[in-house]
Amino acid sequence: MTERARYLKSFAVELGVYGALVTVYFFLVLHFLARWIEHLYRTNTRGYAVAAILLIVGQGIVLEMLTSALLRFIRARKE
Amino acid sequence: MYFGISGEHISPIFLAAIGFLIGLMGGFFGVGGSFLAGPALFAYGVPMNFVVGTDLAHIVGKSIVAAKKHRALGNVDLKLGGIMVIGTITGVEAGAQLIQYLKRHAHIDLIVGSCFIVVLLSIAAFMMWESWRTLRMQNARIEEPAPATERHDESAFDHIAKWIQSLRIPPMVSLPVSGIAEISLWIIIAVAFMGGFFSGFLGGGAGYIRMPSLVYVLGIPTHVAVGTDLFEIMISAGYGTFTHALKGNVDIMIALVMHTGAAIGAQIGAILTQYFAGPRIRLAFVPLPIIGAGIVIYGLITGNHH
């Protein structure tokens, strides 16, 4: 198998694992978060603005750690 | 999936796919991708004020990580970035206030959409010209090689940057990290204001305006300009998200779903650059803002964007 094919295979595996994790995340976190965040949007604009920043920053850091860890794990297995 | 804040039904798979594509391009081309995210949300029926605010929110998550990586590489001029924050925040607020004004006067979709089209087509034209010119220069260098120093980039606009640096409008500041002996504080703030204004008005981080301005107007070396631009995008998108959220223009749930795709796309895009490089990538990038402009034109013509 060529190096490029090996990379493509590892990307496909990573994408599959990531897709499964994100689906769980959709149902467990975003589904329950939606009502609360919508209520906050309607009743407390300042609180909503702060929560919006914290949520996107938090998700940014967590997903970056997750994708980096997945890449490291797949590369370590390949070697 | 119903997004109650903006009142729209949007497929989460569509949002994650758009996020993935934007992340992939961010990693591959080094751009924020607001030129595609904005038109895609607009075409799906999201009102333009939500498009602008939500796109800013989605960019915050991406830019924090990217700016952190560039800081580790020494590509961020913190003094320049610190000065620019003043102009950036003022500009973002001015852009957001203009959005508010347009929202009240019911012309928002047409005016912001038209500005989007002009900016997108200008980016495509500039990148086509720049990449074509670089390819010609590279072909010429095959015959006569001319090495460039690490902290100075060759540019057709060098004389403009030098003239701007020579303007003595006090106070003057030095930027040792960027290799600039003296430059007027007001010029830096004006460049930052312009970038911030486009960020607040059209959404996204406005790196397509700020990054070329840093290189061609201020004369900052490209790698420092990229790192410092990401630092400013983090500030402008963060502040833009907050101020637009206060004005009710952010659907954070849409941004969170889009970002799930962007996070993985960015990693893959960055790795793919190992296989493709050079001005041919920038030339290949040219159709993308044109597609974005086409989507906005379609949305404006069809009225309800669906």
Q: What is the per-residue DSSP string for chain B?
A: -EETTTTEE--HHHHHHHHHHHHHHHHHH----HHHHHHHHHHTT--HHHHHHHHHHHHHHHHHHHHHHHHHTT---HHHHHHHHHHHHHHHHHHHHHHHHHHHTT-HHHHHHHHHHHHHHHHHHHHHHHHHHHHHHHHHHHHS--PPPTT----TTHHHHHHHHH---SSEEEEGGGTEEEEEHHHHHHHHHHHHHHHHHH-S--HHHHHHHIIIII---HHHHHHHHHHHHHHHHHHHHHHHHHTT---HHHHHHHHHHHHHHHHHHHHHTTT--SHHHHHHHTHHHHHHHHHHHHHHHHSS--
Could A22 and B16 be called an inter-chain contact, meaning their C-beta atoms sit closer than 8 Å?
Answer: yes
Residue B149: the pLDDT is 47
Q: What is the pLDDT of residue B246?
A: 92
Considering only alpha carbons, which residue of chain B is nearest residue A32?
Answer: B253
pLDDT value at residue B306: 41
Contacts of A63 in chain B (CB under 8 A): 61, 259-260, 263-264
Q: Which pLDDT does position A32 carry in this prediction?
A: 80
Rounded to an integer, what distance in angstroms lies between the CA atom of residue A60 and that of residue A68?
12
* pLDDT recorded at residue B39: 81
Q: What is the pTM of this model?
A: 0.74
Residue B150 is predicted with a pLDDT of 46
What confidence score (pLDDT) does residue A79 get?
58
Position A1 confidence tier, pLDDT thresholds 50, 70, 90: low
The stretch A31-58 carries a mean pLDDT of: 91
User: Splitting chain B (306 residues) into consecutive groups of 10 residues, what average pLDDT does each group show?
Assistant: 85 88 72 75 84 87 74 81 89 85 77 83 80 73 52 62 84 87 92 86 74 82 79 82 90 90 76 59 70 75 58
Closest alpha carbon within chain A to B66: A64
pLDDT for res B109: 77
Residue A25 to chain B, least CA–CA distance (Å)? 9
Phi, psi of B175 (to 5 degrees): -125, 80
- pLDDT band of A52, cuts 50, 70, 90: very high
Name every residue whose Cβ is closer than 8 Å to that of residue A39 and which is 6 or more positions away in sequence. none
**According to the model, what pLDDT value does residue B126 have?**
80
Chain A residues in contact with B260 by the CB 8 A cut-off are: 22, 25-26, 59, 63
Q: Which residue of B has its CA nearest to A16?
A: B264
Q: Which of B259, B268, B275 sits opposite A11 (nearest CB)?
A: B268
Does residue A77 sit at the B interface (CB-CB below 8 Å)?
A: no
The phi, psi pair for B2, rounded to 5°, reads -90, 130
The answer, for A26 touching chain B at a CB cutoff of 8 Å, is yes
pLDDT at B305: 46
Give residue A40's pLDDT: 93
Cα dihedral B217→B220→B226→B232 (10° resolution): -70
pLDDT (0 to 100) of residue A20: 80
Q: Longest Cα pair distance anywhere in chain B, in angstroms? A: 62
- Please state, in angstroms and rounded to a whole number, the distance separating the CA atoms of residues A62 and A55: 10
> What does each C-alpha distance from A59 to A29, B145, B179, B194 come to in angstroms?
11, 47, 36, 29
